[in-house]
């Protein structure tokens, strides 16, 4: 019985732990995968879109300014008149720069190749000079303008964003290239703002993967292919207008990267997230789920244990005790008798047995009913138990018949106990409705002989009981 209980509790524990753990782990991995997918496919691209929109907004004003300059008749008329007074174009560019608060304004003449600036003529562009490649690229454009990042001709230490706008005459012939410069610092400020707001690393790379613009705290390799973990993915990033990848850095962190081509610069905007910010919350939720599951498992096991123990006690009680009287059942009397005999042998004492039967019990059942009969049996059993020691055992042998096992007891003492039980029962009054009824019992007493079996002992005590019945009932018969 104990082994079965342990097996049941162990199996229940294993089932609960396995079920809770499996459910928690499945929920954990599904949530982690879902959040990672959402971060990679929605949140990072949304950040890229927001930054791109703000960059376009910042570029809109200088683009409009350059368009106004390219379509200003003053510029084309001044060129067609032979560029006779450079001071006029310089003053014009100065007013543009001052009015719209740009970092520079310029015009390069196709006819003379002069580079005009608010301070005057800075130089003549030369096709053999790499610094002037921008002009010769712009004059071949099929579009009206381009935006590029380059060092300012007036200040080679300053990196600027330029709008190069083609100037055409009424016949569509190229007159020159004009435009304004926008400080890279504004884009840098945007990068810093987004890095602080979203806690993500933001930077730009060119077509070769070289980092061109970045915010503070940028300590990584300046080329994508040199970044550990990204060496197998950078080609995918640099060949797609938009890409989302994830890789493991050498420090063990999981990096989520989103790229977006900014066609105005021909650069890629890169947004990186180091690890998933929701991963820690999901892991904490997993730990909480596991702890709650363990607590529930412990509670269920405790409930199961105490429930089983209660049922076991009830089963043991049902198996060992008579339901009506609470006396020992016939099924366990063999065990009680064997234990008593072994004890008597060790102590060199004797074991006595008394048999008790209610006199004319059938008349009570027939006259007052079985419920009253049960009450008589219950009361007689209680009287008998009160007249013996705790070490003695009262057993309901069947119907209205009882056996009383008396340990460390000789025949004389057993006879006295039987007589006391008979006398108390006889003196007890039973009230059934308005009737007062007296009940008597007959008893037989004997003492176990050496090595005598229980069956033989019961047979002898029954003969003593029958002797009492024959002699008129309500008495004690003795079998030596």
For the purposes of burial, counting CB atoms within 10 Å of the CB of 321, is it exposed (0-12), middle (13-18) or buried (19 or more)?
middle
Map residue 90 onto helix, strand or coil. Answer: helix
Residue 400 catalytic? Answer: yes
Cβ-contact 430, 436 below 8 angstroms: yes
Q: Which residues contact 58 (CB under 8 A, 6 or more apart)?
A: 182, 186, 187, 190
Distance CA 338, CA 194 (A): 90
Gyration radius of the chain over CA positions: 54
Nearest Cα to 418, choosing from 439, 396, 443? 443
Distance between CA atoms of residues 156 and 387, nearest Å: 120
Q: Which of 400, 401, 407, 416 is catalytic?
A: 400
Q: How many angstroms separate the CA atoms of 415 and 478, rounded?
A: 7
Strand, helix or coil at 416? helix
- How far apart are the C-alpha atoms of 214 and 202, rounded to whole Å? 7
Give the strand order in the sheet containing 211-214: 211-214, 201-205, 267-274, 254-262, 242-248
The span from the CA of 468 to the CA of 466, in Å, is: 5
CA distance between the termini of the chain: 42
Instruction: Tell me which residues are annotated as active site.
Output: 400
């Amino acid at each position: 019985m104990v082994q079965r209980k342990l097996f049941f509790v162990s199996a229940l524990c294993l089932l609960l732990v396995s079920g809770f753990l499996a459910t928690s782990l499945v929920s954990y991995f599904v949530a982690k995968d879902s959040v990672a997918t959402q971060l990679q496919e929605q949140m990072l691209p949304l950040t890229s879109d927001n930054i791109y929109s703000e960059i376009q907004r910042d570029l809109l004003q200088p683009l409009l300014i350059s368009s106004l300059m390219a379509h200003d008749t003053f510029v084309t008329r001044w060129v067609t008149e032979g560029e006779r007074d450079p001071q006029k174009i310089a003053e014009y560019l100065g007013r543009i720069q001052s009015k719209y608060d740009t970092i520079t304004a310029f015009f390069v003449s196709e006819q003379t190749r002069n580079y005009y600036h608010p301070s005057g003529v800075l130089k003549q562009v030369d096709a053999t000079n790499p610094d002037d490649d921008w002009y010769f690229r712009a004059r071949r454009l099929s579009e009206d303008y381009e935006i590029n990042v380059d060092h300012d001709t007036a200040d080679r230490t300053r990196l600027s964003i330029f709008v190069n706008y083609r100037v055409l005459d009424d016949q569509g012939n190229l007159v020159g290239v004009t435009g304004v410069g926008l400080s890279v610092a504004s884009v840098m400020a945007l990068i810093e703002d987004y890095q602080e707001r979203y806690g993500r690393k933001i930077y730009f790379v060119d077509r070769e993967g070289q980092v061109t613009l970045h915010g503070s705290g940028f300590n990584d390799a300046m080329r994508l292919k040199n970044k550990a973990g990204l060496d197998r993915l950078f080609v995918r990033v640099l060949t797609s207008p938009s890409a989302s990848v994830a890789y493991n850095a050498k420090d063990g962190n999981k990096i989520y990267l989103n790229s977006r081509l900014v066609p105005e610069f021909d650069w890629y905007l890169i947004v990186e997230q180091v690890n998933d910010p929701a991963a820690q919350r999901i892991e904490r939720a997993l730990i909480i789920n596991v702890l709650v599951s363990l607590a529930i498992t412990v509670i269920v096991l405790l409930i199961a244990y105490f429930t089983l123990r209660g049922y076991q006690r009830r089963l043991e009680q049902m198996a060992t005790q008579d339901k009506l009287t609470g006396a020992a059942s016939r099924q366990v009397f063999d065990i009680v008798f064997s234990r008593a005999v072994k004890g008597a042998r060790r102590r060199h004492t004797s074991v006595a047995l008394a048999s008790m039967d209610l006199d004319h019990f059938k008349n009570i059942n027939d006259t007052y009913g079985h419920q009253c009969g049960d009450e008589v049996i219950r009361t007689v059993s209680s009287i008998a138990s009160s007249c013996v020691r705790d070490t003695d055992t009262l057993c309901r042998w069947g119907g209205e018949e009882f056996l009383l096992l008396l340990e460390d007891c000789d025949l004389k003492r057993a006879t006295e106990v039987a007589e006391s039980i008979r006398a108390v029962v006889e003196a007890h009054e039973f009230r059934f409705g308005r009737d007062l009824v007296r009940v008597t019992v007959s008893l037989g007493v004997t003492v176990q002989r050496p090595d005598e079996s229980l069956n033989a002992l019961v047979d002898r005590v029954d003969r003593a009981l029958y002797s009492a019945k024959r002699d008129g009932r309500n008495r004690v018969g003795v079998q030596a």
